[in-house]
Amino acid sequence: MREFIERIQLLAESVRVDTSAYELSHGKPKGNGNWMFGFGPKAADSKDYLDNSKKNKTWMNARGTYVQAKKEAAKMAGELGFKVIAVLP
């Protein structure tokens, strides 16, 4: 029963990944590379990348496979309290 409750909590805390902006310019994200993720529901529309201080963190870079980078970005977004991340073009 405890494991079931922990799984529900993980689902509730999960982060949604928006790939729409990336797909418009590059197609489906896959493979190795240097990935950029924006945090927040309007991350893909925002040009607010200049203020990336710890308190106003709005984006991050991650190298490696898309799957690894997405996990890293989702972890950071969760720590910062964001529920949506966007793969930026």
Q: In what order do the strands lie in the sheet with 16-18?
A: 16-18, 84-87, 32-39, 59-65
pTM score of the predicted model: 0.73
Given the structure tokens 């309290």, which residue do they identify? 81
Distant-in-sequence contacts of 45-53, Cβ < 8 A, 24+ apart: 45/21
Q: What is the pLDDT of residue 12?
A: 45
**Amino acid letter, residue 8:** I
How many other CB atoms sit within 10 Å of the CB of residue 56? 10
Using CA atoms, how far apart are residues 65 and 30, in angstroms rounded to an integer?
A: 7
48: exposed, middle or buried (C-beta count within 10 Å: 0-12, 13-18, 19+)?
middle
Instruction: Encode pLDDT of 33-70 as tens digits.
Output: 999 998 877 776 655 555 555 555 678 899 999 999 99
The ranges assigned to domains in the chain are 14-87
